[in-house]
Structure 1
Amino acid sequence: MLLANLLRRRCCSSLPLLLGSVVVLWFCSSLHVAAAGSKVEYLPGVQPEGPLPFELETGYIGVGKLEDIQLFYYFVKSESNPNIDPIVLWISGGPGCSSFVAMTEELGPLLFDVPKNNWSLPTLSLNPYSWTKVASFIFLELPVGAGFSYAKSSKNYTATDVETSYHAAEFIRKWLEDHIQYQSNSFYVGGDSYSGITVPMVVQAISDGIDAKFKPLVNLKGYLIGNGVTFKDVNYGDTFRTARGLGLMSIEQYTSAEACKGTDCVDEFGPLFTGEHYYWPNVIGEENDAERFRGYNVHAFDRHLIFKAALIASRWMNHDNVLEALHVRKGCGEKWAKCRIPLHYERTVHDSRPYHANLSTKGYRSLIYSGNADVFVNSFSTERWTKSLNYSVIDDWRPWLINNRIVGYTRTFSNNMTYVKILGSDHIAPTITPADCFIMFKRWISHEQF
């Protein structure tokens, strides 16, 4: 019964909750309520001006008790063949970071330009390495409180890891009910950073719904995670080993750090590779930042954008013309923030490896990728836990190449899990090495060999 209730989230709520919902909804604008699938043809500031060169829709879908949780999403159709191309449900990390970040700073069709000043509306240009060139993406604002997602009953609604996973599972079933033309498309779930916890749990919740024969059935094929948090405990040895390998610590400092135990190590040595001393890897290869975009007016690796991204995006997202274009409900939820801090959220799962192990028994494909210059969610730790699942290696450690250039290393396990290391990349790999990450995704989603 508990599982059925979690999956369906159709239970009736108490009268106080119902009355609270009515009171909150009274403040929401009834004139600008977006139905699921509201088309967005223009966005202020997008260059070149005119209709968007890709198909975008936004909307809210209610989940949970009395559909109290209103989840906002951005759906970008594949620029290739959306009728048959895979669909990826993308969930940003945090928890509480907006999926709009992935859509405009990482792997989506738009990228913010370097602002000309601090008072005009920021502009955006097309991303030549958007993953939407080969797949459709649903960028979901999850959990409740992230981006424009909100709870009708209370702005202080506190979700948990488990509840959030079932919110996502219910969301995708309802989304497919509204988009019956995509019910046969291959379906994947993706995310990065804290979504290393969230994504396998969401996949498990969707799989549970399939086993329970909930309709519509999701054509679930697998999932992908970038530099994902996998367990609560940090291996500080791997952290300092990565920092030493990047030249951020001297041999003397590294020797002292190895002898250090617990969180005091980070307090003592962490400032060596955080803040203003943070390491930004050089992009591997002969292309410089401008040339690698082949004339496009985008600067994905501009340091100014990386450090000021939250401020730039907030100025754009909270502009009245942008809110109207995106069909955001007025008076509902909070002002948009790149990452909701603090977020009312309870972390109840501290190790996602059991979910990976269980999903492997069901034959789902998975791509686990990691930038080698990520100090904290480092590639050493990711290599270690993928190997700890104890599946045999069917394609052992070897370089993967683009245009005869080594851009990383990879291995594939017998449980359909592929691990990929990306050289010269960092925590949010598609931001730092967009061309390499696009090729990586394209090969994996198309079942091509690395």
Structure 2
Amino acid sequence: MINMDKTMDTLYFFWGMLLFMLLSLGSIKAAQEGALITYLPGFIGNFPSKHYSGYVSVGEKNLFYYLVVSERNPSKDPVVLWLNGGPGCSSFDGFVYEHGPFNFEARKPKGSLPILHLNPYSWSKVSTIIYLDSPAGVGFSYSKNETEYVTGDLKTAADTHSFLLKWFGLYPEFLSNPFYVAGESYAGVYVPTLTSEILKGIKAGAKPTINLKGYVVGNGVTDGNFDGGNALLPFAHGMGLISDDIYQEARAACKGNYDEPGIICSKILDKVDKALEGLNVYDILEPCYHDPESKLNTSLPSSFQQLGKTNNKNIPVRKRIFGRAWPLWAPVKDGIVPSWPELAVQGSVGCMNDEIASTWLNDKSVRTAIHAQPESIVGAWVLCTHRLLYRHDAGSMIPYHKTLTRQGYRALIFSGDHDMCVPFTGSQAWTKSLGYKIIDEWRSWMSNDQIAGYLQGYENNLTFLTIKGAGHTVPEYKPQEALDFFSRWLNGKPI
């Protein structure tokens, strides 16, 4: 009789577990169905893969994501979390202007919804991508408790890790896929701090277990000794933007410290400022528009007058306007980081007019389609928010890179070689400073049978790569080349 009782108890346990699993699966399926995007205003046709979006709660914070499932092999392709920088800039910047599934065509009159075309160079061709607005207060992410908008590097990494654990609970079918963290600009801080947080969670037994494989940083801020003026002066000299005389004067007067100059050094740096004034800080090859509301100069080439027409499709590249852009001189230092709107001369993000993204993402029908909260709850969508009080409290990223790469995690550090905001010279210098053995000596790499840039491969799975002719947001300027190096690197193939 005792054995029979034990048998019944065991059966009840297993039936209970089975019922729990069925209920859980039913709950997950319902959550996914509620997050599924079935249409997007401005797009006509079928999506090449499934799209999902919605909110994941982390404490009092509600973090918004947009998921684009891989168009190739969703069950095996890598899952990539994409983060834009700032701090305080929305990852819809990457979605709309860089490597998202659509290209956006502007329409007249001003304020009309753009037309969406499929992007042949979307990174969803080879990976499943999560575009996350992080931290709370950025993009569509929000908290009813505005004290949550006081944050910093370490808190942001912890919150994003919590988001991922919950997200994978909602999409467990992706748990076995290789996982990578990727981003650009201030995500040079977001990415290594988050990757380290994930690694700590794996070691501590956090569930579910994320299949972390590595990370990707584009034109990312890293360390005060390598960013700012110490990267800018060699860049400006090498690009022929300042004379050899000015460069040698600055080196002698500043003694290698351009970020906290003395009186004599400051006078020389004024010459550098004057030489660089008027250039597009995000891509020195691109024209600058000196007022966000001004009309295009009729003396510009017709291609610029038509906002970057390509292949007769009217697909626009963002208009550019000149603004004093961070971190042209000063690198990120410990303490409060000013917001981009605070730093911009025009009261908006310097050098950018993001009319297309703002028009589309602030449309009520678009918000409904992507399950974003209305403006009455989350506010208007802006590219880079002023709501955060953000503290850089993680220090230099170099120790993070050393720890991660020495433990076998793959790292790709890429840089558009015409970006003056976070010049490639800084990224090249700090990757070299790690002291790793060179296993793939400096060489060109190819895309579409043309030299697309240069790379140097180091031991411990670290690769530094440049993209020829690209600016701060590489996939925006060189979409085909960006997809090429990204897909080859993800697949473990030589670039």
- Which of residues 123, 129, 141 is equivalent to 2:121? 129
Distance 1:38 1:274 in 2: 47
The corresponding residue for 1:93 is 85
Distance 2:317 2:390 in 1: 31
Q: Give how far 1:91 is off.
A: 0.8
The corresponding residue for 2:209 is 217
SS at match of 1:442: helix
Percent identity over paired residues: 38
The corresponding residue for 1:24 is none
Q: Give how far 1:334 is off.
A: 2.4
Q: Give how far 1:252 is off.
A: 4.1
Matched ranges for 1:30-429 at <5 A: 38-46=35-43, 49-63=44-58, 67-154=59-146, 157-233=149-225, 234-261=227-254, 262-263=258-259, 264=266, 268-275=271-278, 278=281, 279-281=283-285, 295=311, 297=313, 299=315, 301=317, 303=319, 309-330=353-374, 331-341=376-386, 343-429=388-474
Distance 2:319 2:238 in 1: 22
Q: Give the letter aligned to residue 297 of structure 1.
A: K
Find runs of 4+ consecutive structure 1 residues off by over 6 angstroms: none
Distance 2:378 2:31 in 1: 17
Distance 1:198 1:308 in 2: 22
- Compared with structure 1, are the counterparts of its residues 135 and 309 closer, same or farther at alpha carbon in structure 2 (3 Å cutoff)? farther
SS at match of 2:354: helix
TM-score by length of 2: 0.76
Distance 2:181 2:169 in 1: 18
Distance 2:419 2:493 in 1: 26
- Compared with structure 1, are the counterparts of its residues 205 and 333 closer, same or farther at alpha carbon in structure 2 (3 Å cutoff)? same
Q: Is the Cα contact below 8 Å between 1:126 and 1:296 reproduced in 2? A: no
Gaps of 5+ in 2: 1-29, 260-265, 287-302, 322-349
SS at match of 1:385: helix
Q: Give the letter aligned to residue 53 of structure 2.
A: T
TM-score by length of 1: 0.83
Q: Is the Cα contact below 8 Å between 1:108 and 1:132 reproduced in 2? A: yes
Distance 2:47 2:93 in 1: 18
The corresponding residue for 1:20 is none
Distance 1:85 1:390 in 2: 32
- Compared with structure 1, are the counterparts of its residues 365 and 315 closer, same or farther at alpha carbon in structure 2 (3 Å cutoff)? same
Alignment size in residue pairs: 406
Q: Give how far 1:106 is off.
A: 0.8
Q: Is the Cα contact below 8 Å between 1:35 and 1:59 reproduced in 2? A: no
Higher relative contact order (CA 8 A, sep 6+): 1
Q: Give how far 1:323 is off.
A: 1.0
Q: Give the letter aligned to residue 221 of structure 1.
A: K
Gaps of 5+ in 1: 1-33, 283-287
Distance 1:297 1:211 in 2: 50
SS at match of 2:149: coil
- Compared with structure 1, are the counterparts of its residues 238 and 304 closer, same or farther at alpha carbon in structure 2 (3 Å cutoff)? closer
Q: Is the Cα contact below 8 Å between 1:86 and 1:187 reproduced in 2? A: yes
Q: Give the letter aligned to residue 238 of structure 1.
A: A
